[in-house]
Amino acid sequence: MQILRGLEQESSSPVGFGLHVLLVAAQSADHTIAHRLAGLGGIIERQDELYSALDAIIESPRDYGLVVIDCDSFGGLERGQRAVGLLGEAVGKVPVILVSRECAHQQFPQDRAMATVLRAPLSAVAMRVGFEHALRDRMALREYEPQRQV
């Protein structure tokens, strides 16, 4: 397990506001996804074994605010989609983003039980849009929270 925090984060509250993100990617995978997530304010826990990560999510879905799977690390987009299917009820409790070079068209489903699918290599803009889409319920609640006086 590896915890990453973005160095480029501004003092203002970034969009990820300390969200606990489980990044599922092989050790040999490109670190771009981790850096993009950290830049959005996510606190990244990296898991390099797909089935161990799925087990952790199923056991404690509330421990994670978002799961991002680098599908290319584990055999492609179809395998990533199968992994989402294995999550069962947990997928409705924790949003999932799949990232793959096989993605011809990025997908932003309205059904919260379906994963957001982004094309690799991942740009900063695509990551932000996918991040905000996957977390749209949480973002909407945050807009209505009263602002604290400092």
Structural domains of the chain, with CATH: 2-143 (3.40.50.2300)
pLDDT confidence of 1, banded at 50, 70, 90?
low
Q: Are 37 and 17 in contact (CB under 8 A)?
A: no
Query: Phi and psi dihedrals of 72, rounded to 5?
Result: -65, -20
H/E stretch holding 13 reads: none
Q: In what order do the strands lie in the sheet with 43-47?
A: 2-4, 43-47, 20-24, 66-70, 96-100, 116-119
Determine the Cα–Cα distance for residues 84 and 68; give it in Å rounded to an integer: 11
pTM given for the model: 0.82
pLDDT(100) > 70: yes
The residue type of 36 is R
pLDDT given for residue 150 in this prediction: 44
